[in-house]
Structure 1
């Protein structure tokens, strides 16, 4: 880490290293825009982990410009008290407090702001749809003033750098891009005119904060849409913006039509935006921050060494492990709980209205899920070495208990061992590596190839038992389901069955079915998915789903939604559509991916014996690793 931990300066901001936490929605803001204690602790914890600077999440400069009820706000003086407290907490941890100011423009549902959203032109947001109100010159001037007012409040609150959010399809980005701006006045048309709104805002903010105050601008240098921004066009734009008073540029990508480029999934390579950032850095004369799947300090160090960027933005990496910078500096690389780019954080926000992390169960719960030493050490027996069992063993042992872990197979990892097999899910191995390192570090007694029995547990007489035995594939009651040409997803992934080409039917279009269909089609198989629901992949996070669907289409996977499989013969499956029109499909193998059922018999037997026993993960209900890891943390903290 010779280069990542060198110092750097932007005006009067002195960076102790090159790591920056960029603005990320925490969804820990109250409905009225107030910070909660959770908000403060969320940022304090990350500041204490050792980054040089934290850019607090996007703060709305106008009531009409907030994305959701849980967005932070800075459009009124009443918000100064909260943001001042956050700035002080971050600074007290030895970290530079920065803040991002923002207007959503058309990228907000009208129900959130109780009016039509503002936009440069009469073009609705691609994902939200609905009517918009094109901004008048007077409306534009009002928003420019609101950005200036917000900057004054941010400086008064103690922030030492302000970032203007000009990316991700929000209002400033909407003006910059030909994809969203078709105005014919002085704010649309040529690059010079499309950049005028941004230039006016920068000029106003600079006037309000003075010449010595550092200003950043975040840009989606590539939008990946027709008439959208490209790196080359973004360079031209930045050359117009920088003279107005910018000190640093944060290079991002994507807009609301291409969210997979805003919060990149594991389908995309690490540091996937570095080429764009490098081109921009070589074309301008102020520092460049780069964001985009940089979760590995070794990669970050190499970027700084090669002078491809000046500062490294680690967003989700610091959600996954707030201590990432400290651990990296100390050389404890194996001890870093790395982001796996599963986008659980995004899915939790959009579906559940709260932020969660698959690998870090304390995210969003920093105040309530605190691991303290056990009052009295106990003998704890854990059955099952999947992600839930491993995390339970790690936390239980770390709290001071004596742990024995029993696993019936010859390897620890459970279904993670299968999940990492497709090329596009290799990143999951980072989670498995981390958990196995914790087991080794805690020197936990692991008993492999040992399917422990009820009698053995009773004879061992542990103080508490945690059952993490997972689940088994559900085989639907279909004629022919027990044929030799019918297999399950785990049988493919653990290589109990080898498939080399042929006609494959996948029964079930959930996440597992879609992933195995993509994996098999990549290997040359002709694949058909049969799914009862109207759509496939309903459980998959949006950006990840977009990449999977794209891959399925490219591989010409046939998708039969609202279809039911009726019968299986030696070489054909019989299928019916929603109108009960039946037909047959010739096949070589049928892969069953219709969900799993809990394996919890041992739990019920122990419960009946009056033993202190806990159940977690799939053996409660078949779900995912996030639930298993979280439940393991909660249970381990109780014992």
Structure 2
């Protein structure tokens, strides 16, 4: 009946029935009010995902107390009726759209807290703060531990009053409760440290406090990492001992992920993790218990269905994919899979903004968390809109303008849409870019955008004189620094290397430039079996990447034996070699069969500025031709440029 029969089969967790096996994973949005209460923006965000067809929304972490963790002292509603009232609003919004809601209950981040405060962090013991390892955390007192338990009791009572359908204990990723469970962070010598029983005592007391309030038929879940993925962390065998203990205790389902902040690569898995990256770990837990297991981590619809069919898990969870497209479940159910906007797992806006203490959104869905702010509405005053440039920013502008009822023509000087994506999508680990490129082009067709390929536009083009609004998205071209030999034989820029792999000859490859594009190219070639060296003038490779992307990239480069020469300045390229000087100033020679240059991009701002200057009142410049950045900036600027044409 359905293409995905396992995903769209019903399921039971204790006394709660789900209409399908698709759950929205819990992800912080920083969209709540300052005191921790939900506002209209956050409610609409969750309502949209419930309306999109998930079986259950697993709410982002809800703090049970603000007394234990200095970073969350602003959550003044914790443990109050006001918090319960906010949960009730969220529950009703989800219920009204046919979805269940589960509250993820947290007592804080402990040593993992963001460094937004100078106050001393707290933990199970006096261990280093993750972000500030030169500062020790303060160990929680016995009274503070008892207070945590009591506040979980209050939260459980309030969850029932708010008509939430389930609660989940937040105990993963090395956060506060995990810091009690794990010997690497628990050095206590009292009844909450030492033996397995003692380290589990806090969690045991929390469970009993919750169960005493919600009763036997109410689902109580827990989120745990299958393993911590660092030498001193918890192993899969130790986690199996924990889940078997918790199953006997009465836990109704296990939400299993991987990792912690040490060797951080699993909290929000990047493109380098591959698809369905954590399901095999969930499968090991499922083999050890007799209650349902939920799994998250870079699922596609196909890999999620396969995981259920293979019995690796009972419920599949989608997080960032539902930020990118809240309607994914309904589109799959209704046979409109080609219309699902594919998440890029780029972490640019949904994660990057967390480090800036900002409300998140999405690199390719500017409406995410701002659903009520930026609705796409048919205009009563349609206009002729010319979009110049068919990269991701230009295509998004054309799509949105057309959906708002404008007459849109997109001009692209090359023979294909996609811009730099056509090169960037080539590595196997960046296949999501290819899917997004295809999605954008299909949406242009469905929206009725007139696309003119091999059609170059400049300020003198008569087509612009006929337009009522102009959006310029000309993109950028590779930067070529004045290095002797850079235009010689055997030297290829990174764009051409991706588009025409035959230009990359031989076994020994030198990549000049260790930014993200250079590192990605190096990894792609190393995965093919080439011997690759990256030369970078800065002190580290890919210095501009957030840790959640940079760590796994560095790990993969290490796995494939890519050599990185940092703090190294290139002087010339000649005779099948790159000559450079290291930190000591001495010249070194690196032999190469092919040299690939990856010195970044420079904006095509001159022609863009000419158009803008000629048609200033009606022109908006977006994307790399204004300022070189990542794909998220181009797509989001394209969205807003078109959305503002009311």
| Bin for the TM-score computed over the shorter chain | over 0.9
Do 1:529 and 1:560's aligned partners in 2 also have CA atoms closer than 8 Å? Answer: yes
Aligned to 1:45: 48
Report whether the alignment pairs 1:629 with 2:635. yes
Scaled by the length of structure 2, what TM-score is found?
Answer: 0.92
Do 2:390 and 2:411's aligned partners in 1 also have CA atoms closer than 8 Å? Answer: yes
Question: Given the superposition, is the C-alpha separation of residues 149 and 602 from structure 1 closer, same or farther in structure 2, using an over 3 Å criterion?
Answer: same
Pairing partner for 1:100 from 104, 113, 118: 104
Report whether the alignment pairs 1:325 with 2:325. no
Report whether the alignment pairs 1:31 with 2:34. yes
Aligned to 1:88: 92
Q: Deviations over 1:490-529 (max 9, x none)?
A: 0101117521334433222211121122223333444332
1:460 is displaced (CA, Å) by 6.5
Do 1:60 and 1:101's aligned partners in 2 also have CA atoms closer than 8 Å? Answer: yes
Aligned to 2:471: 466
Pairing partner for 2:513 from 501, 508, 515: 508
Partner SS, residue 265 of structure 2:
helix
Over the residues paired in the alignment, what is the CA RMSD in angstroms? 2.5
- Structure 1: which 5+ runs fail to align? none
Q: What pairs with 1:574-589 in structure 2 (closer than 5 Å)?
A: 574-578=579-583, 580-589=585-594
Aligned to 1:57: 60
Report whether the alignment pairs 1:218 with 2:223. yes
Aligned to 1:615: 621
Q: Deviations over 1:273-310 (max 9, x none)?
A: 2223233223322222111212x233323333343322
Pairing partner for 2:150 from 126, 145, 149: 145
Pairing partner for 1:523 from 504, 520, 528: 528
Partner SS, residue 141 of structure 1:
helix
Q: What pairs with 1:273-422 in structure 2 (closer than 5 Å)?
A: 273-294=278-299, 296-344=300-348, 345-351=350-356, 353-422=358-427
Deviates more, 1:450-459 or 1:132-141: 450-459
1:610 is displaced (CA, Å) by 3.2
Question: Given the superposition, is the C-alpha separation of residues 23 and 618 from structure 1 closer, same or farther in structure 2, using an over 3 Å criterion?
Answer: same
Q: Deviations over 1:50-90 (max 9, x none)?
A: 11111211112222237557879633444333232222222
Q: Matches of 1:437 and 1:13 in 2, distance apart? A: 39
Question: Given the superposition, is the C-alpha separation of residues 78 and 544 from structure 1 closer, same or farther in structure 2, using an over 3 Å criterion?
Answer: same
Q: Matches of 1:246 and 1:79 in 2, distance apart? A: 25
1:360 is displaced (CA, Å) by 1.3
Q: Matches of 1:109 and 1:17 in 2, distance apart? A: 35
Deviates more, 1:541-550 or 1:416-425: 541-550
Do 1:60 and 1:73's aligned partners in 2 also have CA atoms closer than 8 Å? Answer: no
Aligned to 1:162: 167
Partner SS, residue 187 of structure 1:
coil
Count residues with an aligned counterpart. 638
Q: Deviations over 1:129-174 (max 9, x none)?
A: 2212233443322221222122222222232211111111112212
1:111 is displaced (CA, Å) by 6.1
Partner SS, residue 14 of structure 1:
strand
Scaled by the length of structure 1, what TM-score is found?
Answer: 0.93
Q: Matches of 1:158 and 1:289 in 2, distance apart? A: 22
Do 2:506 and 2:594's aligned partners in 1 also have CA atoms closer than 8 Å? Answer: no
Q: Matches of 2:297 and 2:220 in 1, distance apart? A: 21
1:581 is displaced (CA, Å) by 4.2
Q: Matches of 1:144 and 1:341 in 2, distance apart? A: 36
Q: Matches of 2:119 and 2:387 in 1, distance apart? A: 55
Do 1:3 and 1:305's aligned partners in 2 also have CA atoms closer than 8 Å? Answer: yes
1:192 is displaced (CA, Å) by 3.4
Deviates more, 1:5-14 or 1:51-60: 5-14
Q: Matches of 1:131 and 1:426 in 2, distance apart? A: 42
1:334 is displaced (CA, Å) by 0.6
Do 1:384 and 1:405's aligned partners in 2 also have CA atoms closer than 8 Å? Answer: yes
Aligned to 2:573: 568
Deviates more, 1:198-207 or 1:90-99: 90-99
Question: Given the superposition, is the C-alpha separation of residues 109 and 238 from structure 1 closer, same or farther in structure 2, using an over 3 Å criterion?
Answer: closer
